[in-house]
Structure formats: C-alpha cells, structure tokens
Amino acid sequence: MTQPLNAAELESLVARAVVTDLDTGETTQLTSKPNKHCLFFEHFAAGGFVVQLRLDWADMDDNGHPMLDADFLDPVTKKPDHSMRSDPAHNTGSADSDERTYEWRFRDAAKRFTVAVTWSASGVSSASATASGTPTIVRPSYGETEGHG
C-alpha cells in the first residue's frame, strides 16, 4: 500500500500488523484505536521519557510505507512533551527496501524492526448471462402433401 489511509480505511483494510524485533526476534501485534489512522506500539522508557511509537498511515514515507512517529510523554504526568516534535526521532521513515523495516534511534535507545501486515480481503462478485439469436417459425404440416396447398 503506497497511498495514505484514513481511519476508516485502516480499520477495514488492515486485519493485523505484527512487528518483529530484528535484534531479539520477539514479535508483537500492533493495536489500533477508534477513529485513528495509526497503529500503536506498547509504551516504553527511553531518554528520560515514556515513548509511544506509532505507524502513521496518513503520512507515507518516500518508500510508500507509513511514517514511524514517536510521541514523547512526561514520565510523571504522562502528558505529551510537544517540544520533542522537532527532534529527529519524532519522525522516522522506513529503510530503502520493499519490506517495512525501520531503525528508530533516540539518545540511549535504538529499535530495529520489520512490520508484516495482513490485509483484509473483501470483494463483490456477480455473474450474468446474455443470450441472442434469430427466431425461426416452424409450422406443422398435418398430413399435407407437397405441392398441394
């Protein structure tokens, strides 16, 4: 998928997304939230913040994959620290490949992973038939002989 997805499209098209940590091999399923165009990772501590990574399907990178966004939360108040939006770790594009591979780095933390997406399949099918031809009228002869009318 190389086009941005809104919340409704994300919900109907993505059945599941599984992250595989390239360093540990551990897998985790991403979660969604109602009316959001992102898939969310579990929170974790990094660089004095609580970090929430999310794949933003409304913002595609140069490789046609969702941008990896990082929200930095104050560890005490759990409120977003908006000053971190200018940090390079806030937006991370995928590595230049056909796979959704990401390398996120922030201060003392680094995460390398791939994202495998299972797409929902849906569709509508229909069938129709058309017949055409030329009608032929056949009259029964009822015992008449040829030439007698």
On the question of pLDDT at 123 being above 80, the answer is no
Nearest-angstrom CA–CA distance, 96 and 104: 14
Asked if 104 and 140 touch (Cβ cutoff 8 Å), the reply is no
pLDDT (0 to 100) of residue 44: 96
Locate the domains of the chain by residue range: 7-119
Which has more confidence, 125 or 94?
94
Residue 3: its pLDDT value, please? 85
Q: What pLDDT digit, counting tens, does each position of 55-109 carry?
A: 999 999 999 999 999 999 999 999 999 999 999 999 999 998 778 999 999 998 9
Residue-level pLDDT at 31: 96
pLDDT in tens, 28-50: 999 999 999 999 999 999 999 99
What burial letters (b/e) apply to 71-82, b meaning 16+ CB within 10 Å?
Answer: bbbeeeeeeebe
Residue whose pair of structure tokens reads 């399949």 in the numeric block = 121
Q: What is the Cα–Cα distance from 130 to 34, expressed in whole angstroms?
A: 46
pLDDT (0 to 100) of residue 2 = 72
17 sits in which H/E element:
strand 14-21
Indicate the SS3 state at residue 66: strand
